[in-house]
Amino acid sequence: MSAPDPAVSSDAAELAQFGYKQALERRTGRFASFAVAFAFVSIATGIFTTYGSVLNSSGPVGIWTWPIAVIGQLAVAFALGALAARIPVTGYHYQWMSRLANPVLGWILGWISFTFLAIVVVAVDYTIASTIMPVLLNYEATATITWLVTALVLTGQALLVAFSTPWAERVNNSLVTLELVGMVALTLLLFVVAAIRGEVDVANLFSKGAVATEGFWSFGDLTSAGPWMLGFLLGAFTIVGFESAANLAEETNDPERVVPRAMWQAVLASGVLGFLFIVAVTLAAGDPVALAESGTPIADVIENTLGSAVATLLLIMVVLAIFACGLVIMITGVRLTWAMSRDERFPGWQQWGQISNRFRTPFKATVLYFVLAQLILAIFSQSETALFTLFSAATLLPAVMYASTVVLYLIKRKSLPESDKFNLGAWEIPVLVVAVVWLAFELALFRDSSFKEAWAYVIVMWVIGACYLGYLLATRGRHGLTMPGMESIDAELEHEAEKG
């Protein structure tokens, strides 16, 4: 029998300080952690899905919102990374809020995170069935066919998550590598081929397309955002989920060091590569007004510039990137369900908090998450605006999660013990200022009336969560929701002071 890995033993000992025993296998290394964060962001998925919406709402000049969104989300990633280094426990936002504020607020944010993860996997996988496969295989995407294809994609992801974490990780690592190489190659080819053929139109970068000029740059009014402001949704939808690496903290080797770096590196890589790609696409777009009418504008530009064979390869790459994105989302949602169930505060926790002895995965939590995703899909499948509603909710919820956690970090940062593996140092205040300003601005965009159905989903899920939280408080009392090991960081610091 081989000797135990000292590093793994050390990670397990640090986990014990938070009141938990090592239950999941620590297999995730540096690239795998980065791949989890990058796959969730998935620039191929986000840009392919939302570029057409930006052309219609903001015109091609709307792409200049992207660098601002990247800077804002990078600041958020640094702030959350600082928390992940101090609280390296599966459950991410739920754990952070529970231990920094109190378990009641932690439960609320955990439920919000769960409602986000439940809907975003459907939104992402629905894209494959509704906009890509019909073009790739040349068939009409009826509501029923789209429903069935999405259901099959969800099933494939669930099988990987349920039966083998190592295989799920291998698949994700391979698909992320493919996406990185493919996006770099496509970007370079677009720049070079369009330039050689004389099809580069610099004026596109500053064109408003068919969008009216009047009030274009305005912030908007109480119920609507200005045209250019809506362009921020391109970055706001795409550059999210990077903190998913933190939700695998108990499966990651040296998580205090690895996870924070994976988060900000994924945002930076996605931001730079994504912006170069959308600039290349916009330069080669030809007539942006005509392009805005297409359901697959990215694929159209690739086909017109690089030919149908490359366009087909692009579509295949996007399908694989979306599959990886959905796979990581499902892994994240299952881990959150398991983490909250382990603390006996998720509906039906007795079942979902178990680890399968045979597969070493949260098998039953995976089944629950899969069934719920299929129910959400069934509810939205016959709606003509299903894709927009799903993506709207999947953009709104992360903004709420990030704002809550960053504000909490801002309030509690001085009481946190320093991490010798990752900390912001003198940059802490500037980073937090940028993050708070960005998140306040992003949340203000969702006052637009086009998000009313997304808000309806959020409100319904919050009501369900509030009812269950009320049940927990009524049956256990507030003190019955304390976290294992310690109620908060403050309690731990007091305990350490007493020992000293």
pLDDT of residue 5: 58
488 three-state secondary structure: coil
Q: Which residues contact 391 (CB under 8 A, 6 or more apart)?
A: 49, 50, 123, 237
- Indicate the DSSP class of residue 5: P
Q: Report the distance separating Cα 297 and Cα 295, nearest Å.
A: 6
Q: How far is CA 70 from CA 67, 87, 386, 398, 405, in A?
A: 5, 25, 27, 15, 18
- How does pLDDT run along the chain (500 residues), one tens digit per residue? 444 556 667 888 888 888 889 999 898 999 999 999 999 999 998 898 889 999 999 999 999 999 999 999 999 999 999 999 988 999 999 999 988 888 888 898 999 899 889 888 998 898 888 888 988 888 888 888 999 999 999 999 999 999 999 999 999 999 999 999 999 999 999 999 999 999 999 999 999 998 998 889 998 888 888 999 999 989 988 999 999 999 999 999 999 999 999 999 999 999 999 999 999 999 999 999 999 999 889 999 999 999 999 999 999 999 999 999 999 999 999 999 999 999 988 999 999 999 999 999 999 999 999 999 999 899 887 776 776 777 778 788 899 899 999 998 888 887 777 778 898 888 999 999 999 999 999 999 888 888 888 888 888 888 888 899 899 889 888 777 777 764 444 454 455 555 55
Evaluate whether 110 touches 401 at the Cβ level (below 8 Å). Answer: no
Size of the chain, expressed as the number of residues it contains = 500
Structure tokens belonging to residue 214 = 């009047």
Q: Let me know: does 10 contact 255? Beta carbons within 8 Å.
A: no
The per-residue pLDDT for 155 is 97
Q: Name the one residue in this structure whose structure tokens are 């998000």.
A: 451
Residues 384 and 390 sit within 8 Å (Cβ to Cβ): no
What's the distance, Cα to Cα, between the start and end of the chain in Å? Answer: 40
Q: Hey, how many other C-beta atoms are within 10 angstroms of the C-beta on 466?
A: 12
pLDDT value at residue 461: 81
Kind and range of the H or E run holding 225: strand 224-225
pLDDT of res. 493: 46
Superfamily of domain 37-499 in the CATH hierarchy: Amino acid/polyamine transporter I (1.20.1740.10)
CA-closest candidate to residue 288, choices 370, 204, 164: 204
**pLDDT (0 to 100) of residue 224:** 87
Task: Write down the residue that tokens 């916009």 correspond to.
Answer: 282
Q: What whole-number distance in Å separates Cα of residue 375 and Cα of residue 486? A: 36
Determine the pLDDT at residue 498: 58
Q: What is the DSSP string of 88-138?
A: --TTHHHHHHHHHT-HHHHHHHHHHHHHHHHHHHHHHHHHIIIIIHHHHHT
Structure tokens given for 316: 């295949």
